[in-house]
Amino acid sequence: MAKIIVVTSGKGGVGKTTTSASFATGLAQAGHKTVVIDFDVGLRNLDLIMGVERRVVFDFINVIAGEATLKQALIKDKRVENLYILAASQTRDKDALTEAGVARVIDELSKDFEYIVCDSPAGIEKGALLAMHFADEALIVTNPEVSSVRDSDRVLGILSSKTARAKSGESVREHLVITRYDANRVARGEMLSVEDVKDILAIPLLGVIPESKDVLNASNQGSPVISLPDVQAAEAYKDMVARFLGEERAHRFLDPSSKGFLNRLFGG
Amino acid sequence: MAWMDIFRANKPSTAQLAKERLQVIVAHQRAGALHAPDYLPKLQKELLEVIRKYVAVGEDAVNIEVERDGDTEILELNITVPSSKN
Ligand SMILES: Nc1ncnc2c1ncn2[C@@H]1O[C@H](COP(=O)(O)OP(=O)(O)OP(=O)(O)O)[C@@H](O)[C@H]1O
Ligand SMILES: [Mg+2]
């Protein structure tokens, strides 16, 4: 049986797709057969971040509607062994996403994969609810910023009340992933710290991803940031995956850069 | 950077303010999410009816709030009645 993990946040633009892509890639690199599904019907993005946009023929909705088989729709990553992508539809609207349809696809994927990563759309509407509905575990992607933290708390409430697990009296295992963390601004008291966010949300911390220009570089190239060499955000994502798989690793990149004042002044 | 703390001492950082605001918001959100008590409006209405049998009070005489304190929830009722002067 596969483990189903939803990457969710409530608030838009906090780094769910960036995290889904790197997390799924990391799991696959660790030798686990993994599929990452884009639930953002109408606004697909994951294909671009994974660099497979030109290879999408059939999508998730086609499979749900019975217009294509799962085999036809799954895109095998060319760079990473064990990694598959199921794209969202660009044209159909969200009504095409049905609970029964999603259940059937996830069921079928479960037979073949170890991990199913669901990249949730923003919001708490149908697409987001379905992305989390069958989850065993959840990555709560949060920026150290008031509206993002509040939305994450809302999502935690939904995870523990509306999901299939919640309804059968079980719980969804929750992991906090703080992204776009700027240790310099935290040190200056301008940004919530890791401890602040942990205190408020009170769920275990899985990873802290620093704010980094490399994320844009990665998406420009259509390569998940975790695959870039010598990049802090990639190291942070690798640590996160290792922790998810049970390894103990200290959190890094939480301290202000050691660059001197002048260096920072001149944008070094 | 310790000397800078002198300037900070009398003014909380914006991050500190953010945290304090969030603590309040989240406490409310969680209190609401628990039972989002859908019986509250009805309870409020019926209480008002009962009270009105005895005293003349306005629509907003009964105020209900739910607060969460650790594992327990506290239902707080505030009933404002006019003071009886005679
Ligand atoms: N660690 C980071 N450092 C800098 N920029 C980042 C980081 N993580 C994400 N971003 C940027 O933030 C933007 C939003 O990221 P992403 O698309 O992953 O968010 P999302 O939560 O999936 O958004 P949506 O809610 O629209 O699906 C992108 O421009 C991305 O490059
Ligand atoms: Mg996204």
- Residue B59: band (very low, low, confident or very high) from pLDDT cuts 50, 70, 90: confident
Looking at this protein, which amino acid is placed at residue B26?
A: V
Q: Cα(A10)–Cα(A17) distance, rounded to whole angstroms?
A: 13
A180 pocket-lining for ligand 1 (C-beta < 6 Å): yes
Query: What are residue B80's phi and psi, to 5 degrees?
Result: -100, 115
Compute the mean pLDDT over every residue in chain B, rounded to the nearest whole number: 74
User: Could you tell me the two tokens for A144?
Assistant: 């150290």
* 3 state DSSP class of A169: coil
pLDDT at residue A268 in the model = 39
Assess A149–B contact: CB distance below 8 Å, yes or no.
Answer: yes
Q: Pocket of ligand 1, candidates A17, A25, A231: which has the most ligand atoms within 8 Å of its Cβ, to mutate?
A: A17
pLDDT at residue A241 in the model = 98
Across the A:B interface, residue pairs with CB atoms under 8 Å apart total 49
A8 pocket-lining for ligand 1 (C-beta < 6 Å): no
Other C-beta atoms lying within 10 Å of the C-beta of residue B47: 15
Nearest CA to ligand 1 atom 9: A15
Assess A258–B contact: CB distance below 8 Å, yes or no.
Answer: no
Assess B23–A contact: CB distance below 8 Å, yes or no.
Answer: yes
Which ligand 1 atom is the nearest neighbour of the CA of A121? Answer: 27
Residue A26 vs residues A38, A61, A103, A110, A150: alpha-carbon distances, Å: 17, 26, 25, 19, 28
Q: Which residues of chain A have pLDDT under 50?
A: 260, 262-263, 267-268
ipTM: 0.73
Contacts of B85 (CB under 8 A, 6+ apart): none
Using the beta-carbon criterion (under 8 Å), do A146 and B21 form an inter-chain contact? Answer: yes
pTM, 2 dp: 0.82
Residue-wise pLDDT tens digits, A61-90: 999 998 889 999 999 999 999 999 999 988
3-state helix, strand, coil in chain B (%, to 5): 50, 20, 35
* 3 state DSSP class of B77: strand
Residue-wise pLDDT tens digits, B27-56: 877 776 555 456 777 788 888 899 999 888
Find how far residue A67's CA is from the centre of its chain: 27
A17 pocket-lining for ligand 1 (C-beta < 6 Å): yes
